Amino acid sequence: MTLRITLYGRKECCLCDDMKKIVAQVISGIAAEVQEIDVDSLPDLQQQFGGEVPVLFINGRKAFKYRVEAKELKERIGKELRRGR
């Protein structure tokens, strides 16, 4: 199973940068498609997510916003992988 990870964020956002680093560390060695979307690129996205970036979705489900710890992300990814079996 390949995980679909979508990170909604914006440029020059330290929380977004932190989340990107944690995601990269945790998914190392895991089959995953990672998509980063700038919420400021479209008015609809800015309205939907602009006040709560970064927002992380895993397989289309909202998983985390603002911050994530590596341990929490590993647990969530483990659940998704078990669900996809």
Is there a domain that residue 79 lies in? no
The pTM of the full predicted model, rounded to 2 decimals, is 0.91
CA 61/CA 55 separation, integer angstroms: 11
Task: Quote the tokens at residue 14.
Answer: 């330290």
Q: What confidence tens digit (pLDDT) does each residue in 18-52 have?
A: 999 999 999 998 889 999 999 999 999 999 988 89
Q: How many domains does the chain have?
A: 1
Is there a domain that residue 48 lies in? yes
Is there a domain that residue 80 lies in? no
Structural domain of 43 = 3-68
Q: What confidence tens digit (pLDDT) does each residue in 39-85 have?
A: 999 999 999 988 899 999 999 999 999 999 999 999 999 999 888 76
Q: Which CATH number fits the domain that encloses residue 27?
A: 3.40.30.10
Is there a domain that residue 81 lies in? no
